Amino acid sequence: MADGDGTPSARAFWSGTLTFGLVSVPVDLYPAVRSGGESLRMLDEKGTPLARRYHNPEKGRNVPSEKIIRGFEIEEGEFVPVTEEELEAVAPEKSRDIDLRRFVPLEQLDPLYFQRAYFLTPGGSSTKAYRLLAETMEKTDLAGIATFVMRGIEYLVAIIAEDGILRAETLRFHDEVRSPEDVGLPKPEKPPTKEVRRIARAIEARSQKELDEEELADHRAERLHALVERKRRKGEDVVEAPEAEAEEAEEKVIDLLEVLRRSMKEAGRGAGRRPAERAERASGGERKDLASLTKRELYERAKELDIPGRSSMSREELLKALRGAA
């Protein structure tokens, strides 16, 4: 995770403490893999990038974001809606600890359970505890099973030591992995000895002592990149996306505190006005501000004002409730 001079080449996107018993090891988390290949965008015939929309096939129209809720499918076609408040209630407790619960023989970890790899590097100025843990785990061929919370999601991980470096592999849960019986594979049968020897010779003829990284190259991506570069140099089929319409301005985000400050300032200016006049002017400005917010922003305001039933409200209902509470 560092350049040749020892300077980190990327920033850690998570920092915390690896803990078990009375042992605490500060660590930083770095992704061990990066997205590869060449991605293709969907365009219209004029070169405008297309955006995905949620579509209601029964009514034949797109569904705006303020009309979308989430639900858990209990049976095919049968759902239980889940509100934002309910999701918050079942979310894991925020923590900066990687809770290392137990150690198991490394050989018992089936690669089928591995999802994504991360490097764990020493955090802080001291590396003694980190190096001691890595060396001990590597000598004993043990892996740690741990959990940690990142971005509101609890992950199950395997902590593995290799060449003095700790690595965290996020794991699939047990019910996510299929067995050969689930897939319907036939039971293995003992093959003829003669055929085994023939296959063994074929394998030996293609064996080598070390894995050549060229064997892991994405040749399709290389060919696609070469094709695009060739067409670009020749000026073939190169299109530019038209500029966005001026009226499609970015949504204005209004901070609640700023709205309150403006309201207080306006109230101070209008101290000499009649109460009804001041109320009309204040509510008019507030109504205009609220109308410019997205559903998510309206929900956050309703949450701050502790408006009941907010999680099941549509955008229009949130707007009405906020105006009533103003």
**CATH number where 167 lies:** 2.40.290.10
Number of domains the chain contains: 2
In angstroms, the Cα distances linking 171 to 25, 98, 110, 135, 144 are 21, 14, 10, 23, 12
Same domain, 19 and 155: yes
Six-digit token string for 282: 């204040």
The pTM of the whole model exceeds 0.85:
no
Beta bridge partners of 26: 17
Same domain, 151 and 263: no
Ranges under pLDDT 70 in the chain: 1-10, 36-38, 241-289, 311-312, 326
Dihedral angle of Cα 211, 213, 215, 217, to the nearest 10 degrees = 160
Same domain, 170 and 280: no
Give a yes or no: residue 168 inside a domain: yes
Same domain, 24 and 150: yes
C-beta separation of 151 from 66 below 8 A: no
Measure the CA–CA gap between 166 and 159, rounded to whole angstroms: 7
Q: Which of these three, 129, 144, 176, is where a domain ends?
A: 176
Six-digit token string for 290: 């609220």
Same domain, 25 and 119: yes
Q: Which of these three, 129, 148, 176, is where a domain ends?
A: 176
Measure the CA–CA gap between 236 and 233, rounded to whole angstroms: 8
- Selection from 100, 90, 206, 219 nearest residue 148 by Cα: 100
Measure the CA–CA gap between 237 and 228, rounded to whole angstroms: 10
Measure the CA–CA gap between 297 and 303, rounded to whole angstroms: 10
Give a yes or no: residue 109 inside a domain: yes
Q: Angle 275-291/315-325 helices, nearest 10 degrees?
A: 160
Q: What is the per-residue pLDDT across 124-177, written as a single tens digit (0 to 9) for each?
A: 777 889 999 999 999 999 999 999 888 888 899 999 999 999 999 999 998 888
Beta bridge partners of 63: none
Measure the CA–CA gap between 158 and 166, rounded to whole angstroms: 10
pLDDT at 253: 39
**Domain encompassing residue 294:** 256-325
Phi-psi region of 209 (alpha: psi -120 to 50; beta: other; left: phi over 0): alpha
Give a yes or no: residue 219 inside a domain: no
Q: What is the per-residue pLDDT across 12-46, written as a single tens digit (0 to 9) for each?
A: 888 889 998 888 899 999 988 877 666 788 888 87
pLDDT at 264: 55
Beta bridge partners of 157: 146, 170
Measure the CA–CA gap between 120 and 32, rounded to whole angstroms: 9
pLDDT at 37: 63
Q: Which of these three, 133, 149, 176, is where a domain ends?
A: 176
